[in-house]
Amino acid sequence: MIAIAAVVGVIGLVGFVLFIAGLVATIKGSLRFLRIGTRKLGALLMVSAVVLLAMGGALSPGRKTKQVATRAPTSRTSTLSATSPPTPTQPPTPLAATVSPSLAPAKPVEPSPTRTTAASVRPTTPAPVVTKQAPVVTSPAAAAVATVPRPVESTPTTAPTPPPPAATCAATMANPTPGDGGTDAVNVTSNVPNAQIAVTLYYKTTTSHDAGMTDGAGAGTVPFGLGRPTPGYTVNVSVSVGGQATCTTSFTPQ
């Protein structure tokens, strides 16, 4: 037994040392004095140490002794329980014999009558509570602010913009009865300032076009040559101011 215990101790010590060396090699990556250059060898060394520790635990004699010691009382107890005679059961004690006198019902205690006298029963009148109303102090400035009416703000209303007046014009001839040849002119008045005046002359055998401009007041004059108009034939004249207003006039050559 002593030799086995010594062997188990040596195996455990060697396994512990190898486990520590493998753990250090695994963490650092190498262990030069044991010629362990990689973490893989360190892990393998740790596995070998665990195997040695398991073998040492299996060869330990204390485990078998403990198992024998734990089994012995069990077999003895089972033997004693098998050979011991059964214990006779006692008859149940009657319930009436176990009732103690202290649990007997007590007699009800009647309350003593109370006497009420006229002196003890008196109506209680609550004492009157006097409440004073705090005076309201109004300063002259506050009174003035309260009496002065606030001006009512009126929302400004925007008046609608009136539409522009309609364009108008009027045309007259400078000479309504001109002779053969020479020049004549159309006088134009309108409410369209700085606009172009287009004049169309409808002769008996032809149509003529002339143009001019209105000034800042809307007035203008367009001169034109008469040529050889047919005597006694009324020539109609159409006038357009800025393409917005139109008017007509006429003349009769002599």
pLDDT at residue 123 greater than cutoff 90 = no
The amino acid at residue 167 is A
Residue 32, in any domain of the structure: yes
Q: With cut-offs at 50, 70 and 90, classify the pLDDT of residue 242.
A: very high
C-alpha closest to that of 199 among 250, 253, 252? 250
Query: Is the model's pTM score more than 0.85?
Result: no
Q: With cut-offs at 50, 70 and 90, classify the pLDDT of residue 172.
A: very high
DSSP state of 117: -
Q: With cut-offs at 50, 70 and 90, classify the pLDDT of residue 151.
A: low
Cα–Cα distance measured from residue 36 to residue 18, given in angstroms and rounded to the nearest whole number: 12
Domain of 40 in residue numbering reads as 2-64
pLDDT at residue 115 greater than cutoff 90 = no
- Tell which wins on pLDDT, 144 or 51: 51
The helix/strand/coil state of 4 is: helix
> Helices 2-28 and 39-58 sit at what angle, rounded to 10 degrees?
160
Residue that finishes a domain, picked among 64, 80, 112: 64
pLDDT at residue 170 greater than cutoff 90 = yes
Mean pLDDT, the chain, whole residue set = 73
Residue 71, in any domain of the structure: no
Cα–Cα distance measured from residue 46 to residue 39, given in angstroms and rounded to the nearest whole number: 11
Is 168 in contact with 190 (CB distance < 8 Å)?
Answer: yes
Ranges 5-19, 25-39, 129-143: which has the least confidence: 129-143
| Secondary-structure breakdown of the chain: helix, strand, coil percentages, each rounded to the nearest 5 | 35, 20, 45
**Domain count of the chain?**
2
Residue 222, in any domain of the structure: yes
Residue 34, in any domain of the structure: yes
Q: With cut-offs at 50, 70 and 90, classify the pLDDT of residue 201.
A: very high
Residue 199, in any domain of the structure: yes
- Tell which wins on pLDDT, 79 or 243: 243
pLDDT at residue 65 greater than cutoff 50 = no
Domain of residue 214, CATH code: 2.60.40.10
Residue that finishes a domain, picked among 64, 90, 118: 64
Residue 160, in any domain of the structure: no
pLDDT at residue 216 greater than cutoff 70 = yes
Residue 148, in any domain of the structure: no
- Tell which wins on pLDDT, 97 or 55: 55
pLDDT at residue 195 greater than cutoff 60 = yes
Confidence at residue 85, expressed as pLDDT on a 0 to 100 scale: 47
Burial of 202 from C-beta contacts in 10 A (0-12 / 13-18 / 19+): middle
Residue that finishes a domain, picked among 43, 64, 85: 64
Residue 55, in any domain of the structure: yes
